[in-house]
């Protein structure tokens, strides 16, 4: 039985299941001169290239969205704790 390839592409999406080394992990996330997305050092797909400034913008926007979402959840929980009765008026015309 033939050995399956450890790395390659399926439908244009890269995969790599070779055992990762520290050097390969570090060098895959920092590739000056490459685009915003680079192949993942292990697994399927792409990851952010931290040598590209566009990646830092994406991380800042994602972090801000996560912060605002979590900040909004704490306010929503406080509103749910109100146990005051609510009056509902149904108008039958």
Q: What is the pLDDT of residue 72?
A: 85
pLDDT tops 60 at residue 77: no
* Domains held by the chain: number: 1
Q: Give the mean model confidence (pLDDT) for residues 11-16.
A: 92
Structure tokens of 49? Answer: 């290239």
- Confidence label for 79 from pLDDT (cuts 50, 70 and 90): low
Containing structural domain, residue 56: 7-79
Can you give the C-alpha Rg of the chain in angstroms? 24
The answer to which of 7-21, 34-48, 66-80 has the lowest mean pLDDT is: 66-80
Tens of pLDDT, residue by residue over 26-63, are 899 999 999 999 999 999 999 999 999 999 999 999 99
Whole-angstrom distance, CA of residue 86 vs CA of residue 47:
49
In a domain, 43, yes or no: yes
In a domain, 2, yes or no: no
pLDDT tops 60 at residue 15: yes
Using the structure block, give the residue that is written with the tokens 């972090």.
Answer: 63
| Better-predicted residue by pLDDT, 93 or 70 | 70
In a domain, 56, yes or no: yes
Predicted model pTM = 0.63
Using the structure block, give the residue that is written with the tokens 């050092």.
Answer: 41
> What does DSSP say about strands 13-16 and 7-10: parallel, antiparallel, or unpaired?
antiparallel
**Cβ neighbourhood burial of 38 (10 Å; 0-12, 13-18, 19+):** buried
In a domain, 26, yes or no: yes
């Amino acid at each position: 039985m033939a050995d399956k390839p450890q790395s390659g592409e399926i439908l244009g999406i890269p995969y790599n299941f070779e055992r990762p080394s520290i050097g390969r992990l570090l060098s895959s996330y920092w590739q000056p001169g490459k685009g915003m997305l680079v192949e993942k050092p292990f697994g399927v797909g792409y990851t952010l290239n931290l040598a590209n400034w566009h990646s830092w913008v994406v991380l800042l926007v994602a972090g801000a969205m996560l912060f605002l979402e979590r900040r909004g959840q704490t306010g929503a929980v406080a509103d749910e704790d109100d146990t005051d009765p609510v009056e509902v008026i149904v108008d039958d015309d």
